[in-house]
Amino acid sequence: MFDGMQRRVVSLWFPRLASDRVLRRRLVNGPFVLTLKQQNANRIYCLNAQAAEQGLHQGMSYADARAFCPALQSCTADPQADMRFLHILRRWATRYCPWVGMEGEDGLVLDVTGSAHLFGGEEAMLADMRGRFARAGLWVQIGLGDTRGAAWALARYNEGVAASGNMLTALKSLPVAALRLDEKTSVALQRMGLRKIGTLAAAPRAPLTRRFGPGLLLRLDQALGAQPEAITPLSDPPHYAVRMTLPDPIGLLSDVMAGTERLLAQLCAKLKAQEMGARKLCMTLRRVDQDCQQVELRLARPLRDPQRILSLFERGLGEIDAGFGIDQMRLEATGVEALPVQQISHVSDHSKSRLDDLITRLGTRVGLENIQRFLPADSHIPERSFIIAAAAYSNPSSGWSILNPRPLYLFPPEPIAATGPHPPARFRWRRMSLTTGHATGPERIAPEWWHQDESWRSGLRDYWRVETTQGRRLWLFYTPQNPGWFVQGEFA
């Protein structure tokens, strides 16, 4: 990439990344730690400089830390938020060079070959980094060398800059752990008397390979530059947006639809390459007077079929005001979901696709959240045997298993005047006098003791299906523990 130019690598290590992230938003004076439950104990996950000065360290039990430092302040750690913050720093670091990669959970690595002169040289560039991190409230240690391994070692064991050309001179006094070795290998080398990188480099290679395998010497050669080691930058997430600038303004719906069709073809090609589907689309139309109008389309299912999406866009695009004309169109998928490639079959059923398109069309008028469906729930309690979910964000279920018929209409229990454990021969309900013609039951249902439900405080219920001579088919229940009769539903 840079012919005839010596490679230079910067390693950024944030030993207190987690605590620095929290303290950027929280004013704390004194020792502060982040705790995380590890090995059935609440332990220190990260700590600030004041806590380290009190003798606290990472992995220490929080109870012991409070005994050493009664004024200790703490907060629960969030490793996922720390990783998101590190990704933000990685993207910010591309201001120094385009080749930025991750270095574990608390570091970054930058290939600054050919870019240091843009900041006035290596020393000026490193000074700029330190100043910006200090103003941001982040403690960082920086190492610069010809190799990734050398930069890593300097950042963590002897912060500084290694002169170009001879990494052994800069690393020979550092412990062997600076070669990114596991703890077991590092301890074994120290027991053999090989405590420094310089001593290890001068030792015979064949016995080391036989005892530790090729990994040890590979790490040594990578640090000294005898073996290459690539830096893999993280790619930015795909951006699902396409734009078209028109040579002449348009205003007819047919022209707008034709432009939309071309944009959809490009956008769906991007989605297909990533095996994604659009759930929310936004079309931005810029008029010649620089005013913009937007048409949003929310889909009931992830799609990447241009023709199906185009027909769903027609209603929204027909309501726009083109003014003196539209000279730019921009289509963006603001919401996407995974849509893996599926096997095509000649017996595929298109009824589900038509239902999804219908839900989308209705959703543009009343909102997708207002189109709902019933789904089965694992409960024998009538009120809890189903849930209501938005049809656009759920799949239909065929898991309805009903041993006994259930009424079509279910409502809160309504008391009626009756006594005894058997259905009354005559009773009044909703100002109607009804006569029992046929009764089927009882079906005993016990309350779920793990749920606190006021309507089930009366205890057991004995349900009956009652057919009246007036034509009403009701669902009645009797509570033997607290005698009383109620009507809760009506069959069709």
Instruction: Kindly report, residue by residue over 469-492, the tens digit of the pLDDT.
Output: 999 999 999 999 999 999 999 998
Q: Is the omega angle on the peptide bond into residue 442 within 30 degrees of 0, that is, cis?
A: yes
Q: What is the pLDDT of residue 455?
A: 81
Say whether pLDDT at 1 is over 50.
no
415, 427 Cβ separation under 8 angstroms:
no
Q: What is the pLDDT of residue 344?
A: 67
Task: Provide the percentage of residues in the chain whose pLDDT is more than 70.
Answer: 97
Q: What is the pLDDT of residue 87?
A: 93
Q: What is the pLDDT of residue 206?
A: 93
CB atoms under 10 Å from CB of 359, counted, come to: 19
Say whether pLDDT at 257 is over 90.
yes
Instruction: Kindly report, residue by residue over 389-429, the tens digit of the pLDDT.
Output: 888 888 888 767 777 888 989 999 999 999 999 999 999 99
The set of residues, in sequence order, having a beta carbon less than 8 Å from that of 344 and lying 6+ positions away, is none
pLDDT range class, residue 385, cuts 50, 70, 90? confident
C-alpha distance from residue 242 to each of 248, 260, 283 (Å): 19, 10, 10
Burial of 439 (C-beta count, 10 Å sphere; 0-12/13-18/19+): middle
DSSP per residue, 204-222: -HHHHHHHH-HHHHHHHHH
54, 69 Cβ separation under 8 angstroms:
yes
pLDDT range class, residue 351, cuts 50, 70, 90? low
Q: What is the pLDDT of residue 234?
A: 76
Say whether pLDDT at 269 is over 90.
yes
Q: What is the pLDDT of residue 4?
A: 56
| Cα 235 from Cα 238, distance rounded (Å) | 9
Which is more confident, 376 or 256? 256
Mean pLDDT of all residues in 121-130: 94
Q: Cα 155 to the chain's mean position, in Å?
A: 31
362, 318 Cβ separation under 8 angstroms:
no
Nearest C-alpha neighbor of 302 from the set 341, 266, 263: 341
418, 435 Cβ separation under 8 angstroms:
no
Say whether pLDDT at 249 is over 70.
yes
The set of residues, in sequence order, having a beta carbon less than 8 Å from that of 392 and lying 6+ positions away, is 298, 299, 300, 301, 359, 360, 363, 368, 369, 371
Which is more confident, 343 or 469? 469
Say whether pLDDT at 265 is over 80.
yes
pTM of the model: 0.62
Q: What is the pLDDT of residue 157?
A: 94
240, 337 Cβ separation under 8 angstroms:
no
| Cα 75 from Cα 49, distance rounded (Å) | 16
Instruction: Kindly report, residue by residue over 153-168, the tens digit of the pLDDT.
Output: 999 998 989 988 889 9
Say whether pLDDT at 342 is over 80.
no
| Cα 412 from Cα 153, distance rounded (Å) | 71
Q: What is the pLDDT of residue 382?
A: 87
The set of residues, in sequence order, having a beta carbon less than 8 Å from that of 24 and lying 6+ positions away, is 136, 137, 138
Burial of 159 (C-beta count, 10 Å sphere; 0-12/13-18/19+): middle
Q: What value does the mean pLDDT of the chain take?
A: 90
Instruction: Kindly report, residue by residue over 435-472, the tens digit of the pLDDT.
Output: 999 999 899 999 988 888 788 888 899 999 999 999 99
User: Count of alpha carbons within 13 Å of 284, Cβ hemisphere only?
Assistant: 14
Mean pLDDT of all residues in 298-327: 92
Nearest C-alpha neighbor of 219 from the set 169, 155, 147: 147
297, 272 Cβ separation under 8 angstroms:
no
Instruction: Kindly report, residue by residue over 170-215, the tens digit of the pLDDT.
Output: 999 999 999 999 999 999 999 999 999 999 999 999 999 999 999 9
Type of residue at 4: G
C-alpha distance from residue 300 to each of 67, 225, 356, 393, 485 (Å): 57, 55, 6, 7, 44
